[in-house]
C-alpha cells in the first residue's frame, strides 16, 4: 500500500461516519494480512486455524518460521503476540507488539494489544499510554476508551 493510500485510510479512521471508519479499518487489516501475498496470508490463516483448534505449539511454529524468514512481516509478529497473550505470556506478547510497532507505528491492533499486556501485568500507567496511543490512531474505538478508563481507575 502506498503512502497516500495509507494516509487517507488513517484520516478515515477519524471520520465521524462509522461506515467510513469501518471501511478504513477493514482495508488496513487487509493490507497487513496480505503484506506478503497469498502465501503469507495462507500461513497466517493456518496458524489461526491451529490456534483455534488448541494446537498452540504448531501455530507458534508457523509464526516463528514466518518471522524468521520474513522479519518485516508485521502481521506475523502481531499474530504471535496474540498467541502469547492467549497463553498469558504477557511480556512476550508485549515484546512482539513492540516489534510490530517498530515496523508499523500506527498498527492500532498492536497498540491495543500492548495496552492489554501492560494492564495484565498490572502496569496501568504504561497501559494508559498504549491505549491513548491507540486512540490517537483510532479515536472512535470504544474498547480502547473503556479500557483507558478502567486502567485509570486502578491507579
Q: Which sequence spans correspond to the domains of the chain?
A: 3-153
Q: pTM (2 decimals)? A: 0.95
Find the mean pLDDT for residues 59-71.
Answer: 98
Confidence of residue 1 (pLDDT cuts 50, 70, 90): confident
Per-residue pLDDT, averaged over 15-40, amounts to 98
Looking at residue 29, its pLDDT comes to: 98
Average of pLDDT values for 83-99?
97
Q: Which three cell numbers stand for residue 32?
A: 497487513
Kindly report the CATH number that applies to the domain delimited by 3-153.
Answer: 1.25.40.10
Count CB atoms within 10 A of the CB of residue 145.
14
Q: Please give the average per-residue pLDDT across 11-33, as a whole number.
A: 98
Q: What are the distances in angstroms from CA 146 to CA 23, 30, 50?
A: 22, 26, 31
Amino acid at each position: 500500500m502506498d503512502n497516500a493510500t495509507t494516509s487517507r485510510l488513517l484520516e478515515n479512521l477519524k471520520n465521524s461516519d462509522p461506515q467510513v471508519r469501518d471501511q478504513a479499518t477493514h482495508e488496513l487489516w487487509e493490507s497487513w494480512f496480505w503484506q506478503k501475498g497469498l502465501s503469507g496470508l495462507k500461513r497466517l490463516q493456518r496458524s489461526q486455524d491451529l490456534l483455534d483448534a488448541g494446537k498452540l505449539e504448531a501455530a507458534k511454529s508457523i509464526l516463528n518460521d514466518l518471522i524468521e524468514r520474513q522479519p518485516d512481516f508485521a502481521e506475523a509478529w502481531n499474530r504471535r503476540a496474540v498467541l502469547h497473550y492467549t497463553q498469558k505470556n504477557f511480556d512476550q506478547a508485549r515484546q512482539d507488539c513492540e516489534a510490530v510497532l517498530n515496523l508499523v507505528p500506527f498498527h492500532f491492533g498492536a497498540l491495543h494489544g500492548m495496552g492489554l499486556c501492560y494492564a495484565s501485568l498490572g502496569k496501568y500507567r504504561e497501559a494508559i499510554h498504549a491505549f491513548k496511543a491507540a486512540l490517537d490512531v483510532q479515536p472512535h474505538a470504544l474498547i480502547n476508551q473503556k479500557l483507558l478508563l478502567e486502567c485509570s481507575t486502578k491507579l
